[in-house]
Structure 1
């Protein structure tokens, strides 16, 4: 009976790990970013302006966000201007940063984020760690019950 309970727990826990990994991957914009990085289109963008935006955090404190406006030229010669709202980069006016963009929609599909291990492998890492934890816990449950 203990082995059956541990097996059911294991299946449910691995399912939860898979769903959590999928959700985190979407939250980190993994599919979109991996597609942009896979296209391999990059350009050097120049910061033309920086807008400061104040917001309030959950505890009521104030947070200041810096939103740089970046301008770059695509491989086919189009000039693209966009406000970077998702990067942690804080370039000053006149600084250059590398952007990754999509050929179909360089105005809407662009990021300053560089490929990172976490975004590239978030789903696999979270699912793997959750599955190992589920296995260890299931074994302990089978031995204790």
Structure 2
């Protein structure tokens, strides 16, 4: 078995009025939120995909399909915890996460510590092994126009053996 594996995750959802904006399990005050089958937490979704990909276990849609009523309005931290357990069962453990949220507004820097803490708790990591960065799209494309938001993540797994 390979000692180290990396995985890349990406997610995008539409921004709509009347929905909560949840990132990494943290509710962010905002007039606009993310639309989706679950809580539409793009950050948790991107990290989940990165973990599953690194472990060679497919993607988020295979494990948590949006056609399954079990996942309707689900807390996406459940996806993260399940992906971490699946990777662990496959002989891996998460070493670190580096993620970026791309969103025009609201500004997120004041929420960084809470998001990192939430992710670290869910993934059984030290907070310093969870990096979260925030970017805008400089008014370009659907993210820059305030129509959607995106998240990207990379994780490193190591073999437990």
| TM bracket, shorter-chain basis | under 0.3
Structure number with the higher strand fraction is: 2
Structure number with the higher helix fraction is: 1
Query: If the length of structure 2 is used for normalisation, what is the TM-score?
Result: 0.24
Query: If the length of structure 1 is used for normalisation, what is the TM-score?
Result: 0.26
Choose 1 or 2 for highest CA Rg.
1
